[in-house]
């Protein structure tokens, strides 16, 4: 004879949300390290998306940092590119100044590429690396 307590309880019959098997929460169906890395994938665009839809603090930190870092780099690149156009018309030294400012714009792009790869790698490993200055702002926003 079986008693009601011998079989599985009703609570065990209900479907459970998978948390990736390691007890972590999920954001948009992704584990926090994967969601954190993807928040960098399309620079500040995916940073904004993950910031708006994530509940996990780790994901929100990386999303905020992505938005701030790459938003600032894009703004700096736009300013430097406009400056190249303006200094090119300076008589006598315009060509040299344009090359210097153009090199600074190219350096900004290279720094952005290195940061993009490094931050995605660190996020997917579960590391909450804070970029100097901007990382503290991101930590407050998360």
Domain boundaries, the chain: 30-139
Neighbouring-strand partners of residue 30:
27
Mean pLDDT value of segment 42-46: 95
DSSP secondary structure letter of residue 90:
S
Question: What pLDDT shows up at residue 14?
Answer: 35
What is d(CA 69, CA 58) in angstroms, rounded to the nearest whole number?
16
The confidence band for 108, taking pLDDT boundaries of 50, 70 and 90, is very high
The confidence band for 92, taking pLDDT boundaries of 50, 70 and 90, is confident
pTM of the model: 0.78
Mean pLDDT value of segment 76-105: 92
**3-state secondary structure (DSSP) of residue 55:** coil
The confidence band for 76, taking pLDDT boundaries of 50, 70 and 90, is very high
What is d(CA 58, CA 50) in angstroms, rounded to the nearest whole number?
11
Question: What pLDDT shows up at residue 24?
Answer: 60
pLDDT at 18 over 60: no
Are 112 and 42 in contact by the 8 Å Cβ rule? The answer is: no
């Amino acid at each position: 004879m079986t008693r009601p307590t011998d079989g599985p309880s009703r609570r065990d019959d209900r479907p459970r949300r998978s948390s990736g098997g390691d007890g972590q929460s999920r954001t948009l169906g992704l584990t926090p390290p994967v969601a954190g890395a993807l928040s960098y994938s399309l620079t500040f665009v995916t940073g904004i998306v993950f910031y708006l839809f994530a509940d996990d603090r780790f994901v929100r930190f990386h999303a905020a940092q992505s938005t701030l870092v790459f938003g600032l780099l894009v703004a700096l690149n736009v300013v430097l590119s406009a400056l190249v156009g303006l200094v090119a018309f300076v008589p006598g030294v315009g060509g040299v100044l344009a090359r210097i400012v153009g090199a600074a714009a190219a350096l900004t792009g290279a720094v952005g590429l290195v940061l993009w790869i490094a931050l995605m790698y660190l996020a997917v490993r579960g590391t909450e690396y804070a970029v100097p200055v901007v990382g503290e702002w991101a930590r407050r926003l998360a």
